[in-house]
Amino acid sequence: MELGNDTRNSEFLLLGFSEEPELQPFLFGLFLSMYLVTILGNLLIILAVNSDSHLHTPMYFFLANLSFVDICVTSTTVPKMLVNIHTQRKIITYESCILQMYFFILFVGLDNFLLTVMAYDRFVAICHPLHYTVIMNPRLCGLLVLVSWIMNILHSLLETLMVLQLSFCTHLYIPHFFCELNQMIQLACSDTFLNNLVIYFAAVLLGGAPLAGILYSYSKIVSSIRGISSALGRYKAFSTCTSHLSVVSLFYCTSLGVHLSSTATQSSLSSATASVMYAVVTPMLNPFIYSLRNRDIKEALNLLFRGKS
């Protein structure tokens, strides 16, 4: 099958994790349960924040947005994978692949930006507590989320338009469970120099800058906490950051794992496994981290369940 200019009429084959028939029911059950837990957990966080007036603060406003984006991240990849496993048909059309890639880049980028905004919120709350309500006003909070959406929509659109310019060769096998940007570029038989340049530039600008912002915020937070005289005061101040710090560590460690697995090894299985940790496991664990380590969320969830019973 020669493609060239007929790429848009082509189909890709998502190889997934394993082609062994006996493993397919296990994989289907595993990913279905993980997907349902992710949806339910993040929806409960959103409902808890919306239903409890005590949680109508900047920190929980950003958390509700993060939960919504986490639902979107998993919904971009997992349902198609479940359909492929169930039907034993691993084909995805060119148009569907491009859309899946666009939305995955968008929502993962939003995750990154929201975590940075949440770090800034904790920085203001701990380092400038007397001015917190003035600085983190509803207008600024809404603006921070809006800017995050706009920047990531533009970035995702740029990456997608760059891929649309590529021509693909005859072997359209993607050794992954979704249409991942790097895998798509590797399949191209046209020049990918500009694509790689944009990816590296975006990684530095849209990945490195938020990480630098998080590290700067926490350096100031640690410095401020060390200046608190009482041990109880230091504990209370740091306890407001532990959930966010856990989520940030999980996000960046899995992101690093994806990068290392794609560059250090040619094994498609290890790359796909690392991507599962990044795209499925992290959104699933985030609600547990915030609900188990946050007393306000636990109380709001208890009130929510009591009100329904």
- What pLDDT sits at residue 234? 87
- The span from the CA of 263 to the CA of 266, in Å, is 8
CA dihedral sign, ordered 268, 109, 189, 1: positive
Q: Which of 48-62, 64-78, 218-232, 257-271 has the lowest mean pLDDT?
A: 257-271
Q: How confident is the model at residue 7 (pLDDT cuts 50, 70, 90)?
A: low
Residues 282-303, mean pLDDT to the nearest whole number? 86
Class of domain 11-306: mainly alpha
- What pLDDT sits at residue 263? 63
CB 203 within 8 A of CB 256: no
Residues 266-275, mean pLDDT to the nearest whole number? 69
- What pLDDT sits at residue 89? 85
- What pLDDT sits at residue 4? 45
- As a whole number, the mean pLDDT across the chain is 88
CB 55 within 8 A of CB 87: no
Q: Per-residue b/e over 8-41, b at no fewer than 16 CB within 10 Å?
A: eeeebebbbbeeeeeebeebbeebbebbebbbeb
Instruction: Say what percent of the chain tops pLDDT 70.
Output: 92
Q: Which of 17-31, 170-184, 251-265, 288-302 has the lowest mean pLDDT?
A: 251-265
Residue in the structure block whose two tokens are 């990456």: 159
Chain centroid to CA 238: how far?
25
State yes or no: pLDDT of 202 exceeds 90: yes
State yes or no: pLDDT of 32 exceeds 60: yes
pLDDT tens for 135-189 read: 999 999 999 999 999 999 999 999 999 999 998 877 688 888 899 998 899 888 8
Q: How confident is the model at residue 266 (pLDDT cuts 50, 70, 90)?
A: low
pLDDT tens for 95-131 read: 999 999 999 999 999 999 999 999 999 999 999 999 9
- The span from the CA of 249 to the CA of 273, in Å, is 18
Domain ranges of the chain: 11-306
- What pLDDT sits at residue 308? 58
State yes or no: pLDDT of 37 exceeds 90: yes
- The span from the CA of 274 to the CA of 84, in Å, is 20
Closest CA to 114 of 47, 51, 206: 206
Q: How confident is the model at residue 273 (pLDDT cuts 50, 70, 90)?
A: confident
State yes or no: pLDDT of 231 exceeds 90: no
State yes or no: pLDDT of 2 exceeds 50: no
Residues 36-40, mean pLDDT to the nearest whole number? 96
